[in-house]
Structure formats: C-alpha cells, structure tokens
Structure 1
Amino acid sequence: MGGGESTPADPPKIHFGQPWRDVKTVYLKNYTFLNSYKPGHPDVKNLRILLHGPVGAGKSSFINSVQSALRDRVAISAQTDAIATGCSFTRKYETYEIKKDDGSYFSFIFNDIMGLEEKTDMGVKVEDVKLALNGHVSKGYQFKSDLEIQENDKYYNSSPTLNDKVHVLVSVIPAGSVSILSDGVVKKMREVRLAASEMGIPQLAILTKIDEACPEVNTNMDKVYGSIYLKELVDKFSVLLGISPNCIFLVRNYHEEIDTNDDMNALILTAVKQMIYFGEDFVDKL
C-alpha cells in the first residue's frame, strides 16, 4: 500500500433543503378559487394577463399548461413549435380564453405575443408591447420586426376601455437561461417593465423548463421549491430583472405528457392564482 496521505472524500452535495414555498397542498384550493373567480370591477369582464419574454421561453406552452391543469386533461389551444429555430413561432397578438366543462369560461384571459430577441430589428418591437399594455393592440395583429403598429392599422384600438388594457404583466424565462440571457433581451424586458410600472400594472415572473435546468426535480416534482439550485436561479433572476423573489414562480409546462399530474398542476395554478390576486388589486384601485 502507498504511504501517501489519503484525501478525504468531498462531502455529499445537498440538492434539496427546507422548502421555501409550500404548494403541495393547494392544488384543489387554487382550482376552486380560479373556477369561482369573477373580477370585482364592473368594467372588467375578464382579467387580462400579458405574457412576454425571449423567443422559446415557453409562453404558449404555459397557456396550454394552465388550460390542462384547469381541465384536468392535456389540452392544446396555443400553437407551439418543437423545433428550436431561434425565431418566434408566435407572430400574431393572440388572446386565449379557457373553457369550463359547463361551456362557460374562466374570468381571466391570456395574451401571447411574439418573442423578444437580442437584435433591435428582430422579434417583437418594445413599442408594440407598450401599446398592448395600454390596450391599443387588438387580437389578430401581425407583429412586424421592423415597424410598430400604426394608428391607421385596422388592429389599432384608438379608444381602449379598461377591459381592453392589460391588468397583469408576466415575464417568462426558461430557468436554465437565467445566467445566459443576452444584454439586449434584458434591456428590452426592463424597458417593458418600466413602462408597466409607470402605468401601475403589477408584474410577476415564471421560470419555465425547470426540469431541464434541474433534472432532479423530474422525480421530485413535489420538492421543486426545496431545490437549492432553483432557488439560486430565482435569486439571480430577481437581481437581473428587479422582480422580487416572492413574485417569481417555478413551473414545468406540459410538453411530453399525455396525462395531467397533480404536482405539476399545483405549481402552475399557484402562479396563476397570484396573477389573479395582483390583477384584482390593480383594477380595484381604479
């Protein structure tokens, strides 16, 4: 045997710690809340939630995942692209309502937009996002990378009502991309956030694709908020974009499953419930 000194083994890395947010027991409670929710303001028929973020962030997939969680079956209404092209698959300003089993609709809607890109002449124009926040962009508008919507466009709403305006802005980012977001995308997202802040619109963020960023949660989906690595990503993103950690939520979108999962549903509906709370506070002040 050799006479050299033995090197002590590295201590095992602790991947999961004390959960910093409890969502395991709230799936049915959140569903009940969302199912019965009605906006308190008489001029608001549906609470409007606008999703924005870089290309491939999972905005459309999140809308599908919310629908799946609420209908307890995998559902697809927002079209997505499984091939990473680097260009936004969503080109139009889309509005999504979610239908209940009885034929009525949930009282909140999602707006999906073209993704943000690094270059100034690619992706959705920041000015278009600002106009959408104020309700000036109508469903069906085809985004242009080189020109914002014009006042003479048939999709330009010159006299938006409170119901047309956005009530909650949600930043959507893939968890694994937090550390590598380009300066150009971050600048655009902060510009949109600043515009929303000036309008008084509340803001949240969701980190998607948590299973890709932290594969361990695939078999520990109920321990997502105990992941030390995911908590580090939340804190990094908070500093990067200036969103408080208690306004950042972790989700895994449905993309390969054919059945719903209670743990995934709990993550998704927890985020949506908070969007509703923030949006309701906003319209209540008006």
Structure 2
Amino acid sequence: MWPFSSKKVLEPPEPYFSKPWRNVTENYPRDLDFVKSYQPQNKDVKHLRILLHGPVGSGKSSFINSVETVLKGRVTGRALTDANSGSSFTQKYTAYEIHKDPDSFYSVIFNDIMGFEQNTEAGVVVEDVKLAMRGHVSDGYKFNPVAQLQETDKDYKSSPTLEDRVHVLVCVIPAGSVSLISDKVVEKLREVRRAAAEMGIPQLAILTKVDEACPEAENDINETYRIKYLKEQVDKFSMLLGIPPNCIFLVKNYHSETNTNDDINVLILRALRQMITFGEDFLNNL
C-alpha cells in the first residue's frame, strides 16, 4: 500500500493578474513633461492647490516629499515626518511650493494638515478641514484638536480668494490598512467628502505604502498594478468611501531610498497628473 495521501494538495492562489489592470509605465515620460510644464489656464490663480487629508500616519507628508523628489531628481525631506509617532506629527496647516529653479516654482501647491484620529479630542477637527477647503485657514495655523478655528481668530481669512481655496481634495490611506480604519475615522472622512462635493471640489485617493502591504510589491514595485491584493484594496476603499476606483491610485512613497527610482516615480506621477487634470477642470468650470 502506498504511504501517500489521496487528498489533493491545494496550490496557493496566483497573486498576479495576467496583465496590469491599469497601465502606467508607458505614460511616464508624458506624465513627467505634463507635470513640469503645467500652468493653470484660469488667470485668477497662479497655483493649483491640492489638500491632502487622512488618518494619522497615512503618508501625507511623505507623499509631498516624494513628489518633490520626482520633480527635483533627488531625494528630499522638507515635509517633516515621524514613523514612530502614535499621533499626528503634522500640527500646522502648511503649504508647500516646489522650486522649479532658484527664481520660480512649479504651479502646484500641496497643503498638509493634521491627521484624523478616532478620539474626538485628538487629531484635526472636521470643521477645520471644511474651512481650509473654502480658503479660510491661514498658512501656519496650529490646529486645536478640541476647538475649531473661529472667525475672530487671527489665522482666519475672512475674504479668501480663489487662489486661497482648495481645488483638489486627496484622501491618503495606507494600502494595508483599508480594512482597519475605525468607524469613527470613516465617519470623518465621509463628512469631509460630502462637504467637498457640495463645494464642487474634485476628489481622489491614494493608497500608500504598497510595498508594506504585500510582499509582491516589496519584491518588485513595477508589478503594483498586476497584484490582485492591491486591486482588492482599491475596490474595498471605493466601497467604503464612495470614491470611484478610477480615482484611486497606488503609490510607494520615498522612505528608505537615498536615490531616485523610475519605478517609484511612475506611480507617483500617474497619481499627480490625475490630480492636476481634475483640478484644472474644476478651475475652468467656475
């Protein structure tokens, strides 16, 4: 009698699609040229303003550094981050312009804010995010987790211009944490999303830290849009917040690298170009 089991050994599921479900590599040179040469057609603004929001530790500040790294061709770290902080490391409303050369800037501004937290007495207040979208919050305003900005405060802009307003809202979430977002944080994200919709502000999302989310992406970042697990996270987040899958992008921020990498750049640029395109449409439709 053969000493072998007749039970069939199940093979682990194939982690990859046969082809990418979104092709980003072929667009790399055009995306880079587009971002570098972009100028708003609306003459009332000089810069497109992109506001990043999301839970604590999602990678908002790191994404800003990563965009600057791509555009400058060297690793940068101007937006301060802290991998060990259990609370939001960003405390102030901060605008980041990126130098094109010593005398000029690219035509995109990123605004970074304090992250959302489950505790009602911690993290950014939802009403402050709404005020920021309307352009009422001054650069450098220090967020107060237990009280929103008031009209009588010195950091309140009573008559914001179109330049002060937010033109694109981007939600930032770690790819491996989509199923772990607390109900309270989801509620805050949805409230901000509803407010942005009422203002007509276009919305996108980026799922960061794809290399930490699954070993396949860590092994080869170029395979990001072939990995089934990451596509599942995009679909889950779409269902959670209501953002269409074609408005959700996968990225790896620069973190441990000391040199730039084209495979990382491709993902960042694809997301950034779509942010600019949506923001440009918003400005032209006003």
Q: Deviation string for 1:9-53 (max 9, x for gaps)?
A: 213421111211111122221111011110010101100000000
Deviation digits for residues 91-128 of structure 1 (CA, Å, limit 9, x no counterpart): 00000011114642110100000000012221000000
Identity over aligned pairs, percent: 61
Does residue 222 of structure 2 align to residue 222 of structure 1?
A: yes
CA offset digits 1:123-147 (Å, max 9, x no partner): 0000000000000001000000010
Q: What is the alpha-carbon distance in structure 2 between the residues aligned to residue 266 and residue 98 of structure 1?
A: 19
The CA distance in 1 between the partners of 2:181 and 2:119, in whole Å, is: 13
- Can you give the 5+ residue segments of structure 2 that lack an aligned partner in the other structure? none
Counterpart in 1 of 2:210? 210
User: With structure 1 as the length reference, what TM-score do the two structures score?
Assistant: 0.97
SS state of the match for residue 79, structure 1? coil
**Aligned match of 2:151:** 151
Deviations 1:166-225 (A, max 9, x none): 000000000111011000000000000000000000000000011111121122211100
State the match for 2:58 in structure 1.
Answer: 57
Q: Does 1:141 align with 2:141?
A: yes
Name the structure 2 match of 1:178.
178
Deviation at 1:4, TM superposition (A): 6.2
Between 1:11-20 and 1:122-131, the stretch displaced more is 11-20
**225-234 vs 95-104, greater mean Cα deviation:** 95-104
Query: Could you tell me which residue of structure 1 aligns to residue 259 of structure 2?
Result: 259
| Inter-partner Cα distance in structure 2 for 1:82 and 1:123 | 17
Quote the offset at 1:3 in angstroms.
5.4
The residue that corresponds to 1:233 in the other structure is: 233
Equivalent pair of 1:121/1:146 in contact (CA under 8 Å): yes
Q: Which residue matches 1:113?
A: 113
Between the aligned partners of 2:86 and 2:5, the Cα distance in structure 1 is 52
d(CA) in 2 for partners of 1:91 and 1:3?
66
Q: CA deviation at 1:261?
A: 0.4
Unaligned runs of 5+ in 1: none
Give matches, 1:1-286, under 5 Å. 2=2, 5-17=5-17, 18-83=19-84, 85-101=85-101, 103-286=103-286
How far is 1:6 from its partner? 2.0
Q: Distance in 2 between matches of 1:146 and 1:24?
A: 45
Task: Give the aligned CA root-mean-square deviation in angstroms.
Answer: 1.1
Secondary structure of 1:279 counterpart:
helix
- State the 1:228 CA deviation: 0.4
Alignment TM-score, normalising by the size of structure 2: 0.97
Q: The residue matched to 2:36 in structure 1 has which SS?
A: helix
The answer to whether the 8 A contact 1:137-1:157 is kept is yes
**Matched residues in 1 for 2:77 and 2:31: separation?**
21
